[in-house]
């Protein structure tokens, strides 16, 4: 993308900068200024960059998305919101990139645990935020990170002290309510030694229905909103700690989405990520993990594309020390003229002996016009490791369809059963019932087949 677009955003930045959180903190001002300078020089990523060769964000250049100054979330209908707030969770709601206290539910948190908006954390715990902000996400890696660092309006801050185990998850619910809006948020999750926490990131798109209220994306009841979401989450997993991060992205069908999760694990730490990508006209997810001695990492993903959606998943697992274990399984289902991208990279450092890593990407194409680009990579610099990867791209197995037909199942139903069985493997990995049911609903809503029985899944 040309730097002319970056210059337009940089000029607009001056109008919003005084309202950004943490403006009284010299270190944050310097960090934002450095990020803005980097973004202004580079612009948004382009296919000329190897890490973005399959994803062209040129569509963003045609619009100038503007951050919202709405700090209340008063235009969000409470009844509509209840459909997306998961049961038995603590809930933090961000509307157009800003924390909404009246819509969030945080009662009953253990006294030692900090869960607050990023704006509050910068005001109440600036020293802690300074210690972690930008330590996992390197803004020099690509310009979307620099863009987020300069522009972030709010976000979530979580700090779980040593040996504290949270008995229910924390849900971070992102909502964008306007057209041509921009929601730019920054999140920090810290789990000290032996702590355990589960965090659910939910990105919800809204359409404008005929009666003026908001409806779920792809519902067919209104006009889809075009907007930009840019969210970066940094996760720090202490020694022997356990963090599970879920992400369900179901943005408006005309939205642009960038979501990056950057994780640093200490010795013997465990991190698990479940990534479900359903919405957006163009959506990109980055998950980068650094593993320490004997730490464990599991990455699971499901991406479903219909119409002309473009869904990109970019993962990188850095084995930096010996005896670490990583497992990765991503599945994609593409229909109509949708395009899916998977770029998975595992790097084993020279002294990371006894590494055990397995990566698999499986894709199902439901139409002749659907496309998947998959690029698994192993970079191994140690000589005593166990590493492997596998990739499949294809259509349904005709022998399996024939088998079901021989059991009195018609061909269309047989194809539907096999398609949903393929996707359901990833849905079944969700151990939180309310989230499992919500993801299942999203899967059913986005597949074009009719007559699918929910009980199959």
Write the CB contacts of 55 (distance below 8 Å, at least 6 apart in sequence): 45, 47, 282, 284, 310, 312, 341
Q: How is residue 62 written in tokens?
A: 């045609």
pLDDT tens-digit series, residues 284-332: 999 999 999 999 999 999 999 999 999 999 999 999 999 999 999 999 9
How many Cα atoms within 13 Å fall on the side-chain side of residue 406? Answer: 6
Q: At which residue do the structure tokens 């699918």 appear?
A: 452
Q: What is the pLDDT of residue 209?
A: 39
What is the pLDDT, as a whole number, of residue 127?
97
Q: Among 364, 368, 315, which Cα is nearest to 340's?
A: 364
| pLDDT at site 439 | 94
Mean pLDDT by 10 residues, the chain (457 residues): 71 87 96 94 90 90 75 70 91 94 94 96 98 95 94 97 97 90 96 98 70 42 77 98 97 94 98 97 97 98 96 98 98 95 97 97 94 96 96 81 72 75 92 94 72 56
| Residue 49, both tokens | 């960059």
271 near 265, Cβ under 8 Å?
yes
The residues pairing with 275 across neighbouring beta strands, listed in sequence order, are 247, 301
Q: What is the pTM of this model?
A: 0.93
- Taking the C-alpha atoms of residue 273 and residue 287, their distance in angstroms, rounded to an integer, is 9
Greatest CA separation for the chain: 71
In this predicted structure, what is the pLDDT of residue 21?
A: 95
Quote the pLDDT of residue 347: 98
């Amino acid at each position: 993308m040309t730097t002319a677009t970056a210059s337009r955003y940089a000029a607009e930045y001056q109008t919003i900068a005084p309202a950004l959180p943490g403006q009284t903190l010299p270190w944050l001002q310097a960090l934002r200024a450095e990020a803005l300078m980097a973004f202004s020089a580079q612009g948004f990523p382009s296919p000329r960059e190897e890490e973005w060769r399959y994803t062209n964000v040129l569509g963003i250049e045609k619009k100038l998305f503007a951050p919202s100054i709405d700090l209340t979330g008063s235009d969000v209908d409470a009844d509509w919101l209840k459909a997306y707030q998961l049961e038995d969770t603590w809930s933090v709601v961000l509307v157009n990139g800003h924390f909404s206290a009246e819509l969030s539910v945080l009662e009953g948190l253990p006294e030692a645990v900090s869960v607050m908006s990023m704006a509050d954390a910068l005001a109440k715990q600036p020293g802690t935020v300074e210690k972690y902000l930008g330590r996992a996400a390197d803004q020099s890696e690509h310009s979307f990170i620099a863009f987020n660092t300069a522009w972030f309006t709010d976000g979530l801050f979580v700090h779980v002290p040593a040996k504290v185990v949270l008995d229910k998850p924390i849900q971070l619910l992102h909502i964008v309510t306007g057209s041509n809006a921009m929601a730019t948020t920054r999140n920090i999750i810290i789990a000290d030694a032996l702590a355990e926490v589960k965090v659910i990131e939910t990105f919800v798109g809204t359409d404008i229905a005929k009666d003026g209220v908001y409806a779920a994306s792809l519902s067919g009841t209104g006009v889809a909103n075009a907007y930009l979401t840019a969210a970066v989450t940094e996760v720090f997993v202490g020694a022997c700690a356990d963090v599970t991060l879920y992400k369900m992205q179901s943005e408006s069908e005309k939205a642009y989405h960038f979501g990056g999760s950057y994780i640093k694990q200490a010795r013997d730490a465990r991190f698990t990520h479940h990534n479900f990508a359903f919405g957006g006209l163009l959506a990109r997810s980055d998950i980068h993990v650094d593993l320490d001695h004997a730490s464990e990492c599991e990455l699971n993903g499901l991406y479903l594309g219909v119409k002309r959606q473009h869904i990109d998943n970019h993962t990188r697992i850095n084995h930096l020390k010996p005896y670490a274990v990583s497992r990765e399984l991503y599945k994609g289902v593409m229909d109509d003229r949708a395009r899916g991208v998977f770029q998975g990279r595992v790097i084993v450092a020279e002294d990371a002996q006894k590494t055990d890593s397995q990566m698999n990407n499986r894709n199902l194409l439901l139409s002749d016009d659907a496309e998947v680009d998959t690029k698994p990579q192993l970079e191994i610099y140690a000589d005593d490791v166990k590493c492997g990867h596998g990739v499949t791209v294809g259509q349904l197995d005709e022998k399996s369809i024939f088998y079901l037909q021989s059991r009195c199942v018609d061909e269309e139903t047989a194809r539907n059963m096999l398609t949903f069985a393929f996707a359901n493997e990833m849905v079944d990995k969700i151990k939180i019932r309310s989230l499992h049911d919500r993801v299942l609903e999203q899967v059913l809503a986005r597949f074009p087949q009719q007559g699918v029985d929910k009980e199959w899944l």
